[in-house]
Amino acid sequence: MLDIKFLRENPDLVKENIKKKFQEEKLPLVDQVIELDRRNRDAMTEANTLRAARNTLSKQVGMLMGQAKKDSSKLAEAEEAKAKVKANADRLAELEQLEDQLAIEIRKIMLTIPNIIDPSVPIGPDDSANVEVERFGDAAVPDFEVPYHTDIMERFDGVDMDAAGRVSGAGFYYLMGDIARLHEAVLAYARDFMIGKGFTFCVPPFMIHGNVVEGVMSQTDMDAMMYKIEGEDLYLIGTSEHSMIGKFIDQMIPEDKLPQTLTSYSPCFRKEKGSHGIEERGVYRIHQFEKQEMIVVCKPEESMDWYEKMWRYSVELFRSMDIPVRQLECCSGDLADLKVKSCDIEAWSPRQKKYFEVCSCSNLGDAQARRLKMRVKGEHGTYLPHTLNNTVAAPPRMLIALLENNLQADGSVKVPEVLRPYMGGVEVLVPKH
C-alpha cells in the first residue's frame, strides 16, 4: 500500500505505474482517492478548529452563568453561548463520523492501488513477457523415457491419489514409503541449509486473523487463495510468509535488531481455483503441501542486496541436489500489487524438456510494513522497514524436479549426496515395480 502523501504529491507517477502494470481500469481511483483525501483533510481542519474553540466557549458559558446569578440580564447571553457550544458539539460529532467514513473509503481504495515497481522490472502484460536472466547447470535430456512424476512415484509404491480422492477429494495425496521419506529429507535439508546461512528457524501459527491477511497480501490474492474457518476470524495460511511477516504487526522494532532473517516450516493450504492442464495434475498443483520459507525484514537501503542474496540461495540449494535451474525476472503485469520486484527460480524438467516454477523471490518494499503498522525505531526517528520473502523448498514440486533429474535408466533414483544423511545413508532408491 502506498503512502497517501506520496500519492497526493505524485499522482502522475502513480498513474504511470498503473499503466505499466496494465491495470488501466484503476486509473480513475487515483483522482477519486485524492478527492476523498481532500475532503478528509478539510473535515479534520474544521474539527480541529472546533476543538480549539470548545474550551474557550465552555469557559465563556461558565462565566456568563455565574454573572447571570447576579444579573438576570446576562441569562439570555449565557443561553445563547450554551446553544453555540451545543451546535459546535453536534457539528464536531458529524465531522468525526465523516472522518471515519472517509478514512475507510480511502483505505479500501489504497489497498487496490499497486505498489511502485522497481525501474529494473521488465514491462509486459503477463507471464509470457517474463525474462530469462541466467541458467545454472546443464539442462540435459536423458536417452531414455522419463515417465510422468506420479508414475515414477507409483513404481516405489510412493503415492496414492485414489485414496486421497476418496478421503479429501481432488487436489490431495498420500505420500508413502521411500517417497514420503524423501519428501521429509528435502524439508529437513532445506531447514538446515537456511540455518547454515544464519537464518533463525521458526514454526509459526498455521492460522491467522483477517487483519493480518489484509496486511500481507492483496484482496485479489486473498480471495483466490485463502481458506476461511467458518464462524471465526481465522484463515488457514497459504504460505508461512503470512504469519511470519504478521509476527511484526503493530510492533516497533529497534534498529539494532535488523535485519530479521527467519526461515519457517509450515503446511500450506490453497484453494487453487480454476481448471489446470495435464502438466498440473498429480502433485504439481494441490490444496495442501508443506514448505520451508525464508523472510527478511530489513532497512530500506539493504532490501535489494537481500533480494539478490535470497534468490541465489535458491539456486545454490537446487544445484546441490543436481537440479538445473534458471532465474526468470517477472514482468510488471505478472507482479502482485504489493511487490516492487520479483523473480522465479524454475527447475529443469527432462520429461517436459522445459523449466517450471519451484521458487518465487519477492521484494515488497514497505507495503506490508505500512499495512501492518510495523515501525523501526532508529537513531534519527522512526521509519518503515522493507520485507522480502522467498521459497526455500516446497517438496511436492521439488520432488518432481528431484525425481526427474536423478532418475536412472533402470528406473532407480539416485539420492543426492546432501540428502543421504536424512535418508539413513541410502544412496539409491530401488523401484518395487
CATH of the domain at 362: 3.30.930.10
Task: Specify whether 173 is located in the same domain as 104.
Answer: no
Residues 52 and 100 in one domain: yes
In-domain check, residue 117: no
In a domain, 120, yes or no: no
Q: Do 286 and 261 sit in the same domain of this protein?
A: yes
218 domain residue, yes or no: yes
Q: What is the pLDDT of residues 221-230, one digit of tens each?
A: 777 789 999 9
116 domain-assigned: no
pTM (predicted TM-score):
0.89
**What is the extent of the structural domain holding 24?**
4-110
pLDDT in tens, 303-335: 999 999 999 999 999 999 999 999 999 999 999
CATH code where residue 20 lies: 1.10.287.40
SS3 annotation, the chain: CCCHHHHHHCHHHHHHHHHHCCCHHHHHHHHHHHHHHHHHHHHHHHHHHHHHHHHHHHHHHHHHHHHHHHCHHHHHHHHHHHHHHHHHHHHHHHHHHHHHHHHHHHHHHHCCCCCCCCCCCCCCCCHHHCEEEEEECCCCCCCCCCCCHHHHHHHCCCEEHHHHHHHCCCCCCEECHHHHHHHHHHHHHHHHHHHHCCCEEECCCCEECHHHHHHHCCHHHHHHHCEECCCCCCEECCCHHHHHHHCCCCCEEEHHHCCEEEEEEEEEECCCCCCCCHHHCCCCCCCEEEEEEEEEEECHHHHHHHHHHHHHHHHHHHHCCCCCEEEEECCHHHCCCCCCEEEEEEEEECCCCEEEEEEEEEECCCHHHHHHCCEEEECCEEECCEEEEEEEECHHHHHHHHHHHHECCCCCEECCHHHHHHHCCCCEECCCC
- Residues 358-404: tens digit of each pLDDT: 999 999 999 999 999 999 999 999 999 999 999 999 988 999 999 99
- Tens digit of pLDDT at every position of the chain (433 positions): 899 999 999 999 999 999 999 999 999 999 999 999 999 999 999 998 888 877 676 666 556 555 555 555 566 666 666 677 778 888 899 999 999 999 999 999 999 999 999 999 999 999 999 999 999 999 999 999 999 999 999 999 999 999 999 999 988 999 999 999 999 999 999 999 999 999 999 999 999 999 999 999 987 777 778 999 999 999 999 999 999 999 999 999 999 999 999 999 999 999 876 545 555 578 888 899 999 999 999 999 999 999 999 999 999 999 999 999 999 999 999 999 999 999 999 999 999 999 999 999 999 999 999 999 999 999 999 999 999 999 999 988 999 999 999 999 999 999 999 999 999 999 999 999 8
Residue 122 lies in a domain: no
Domain identity same for 142 and 69:
no
Question: What is the count of structural domains for the chain?
Answer: 2
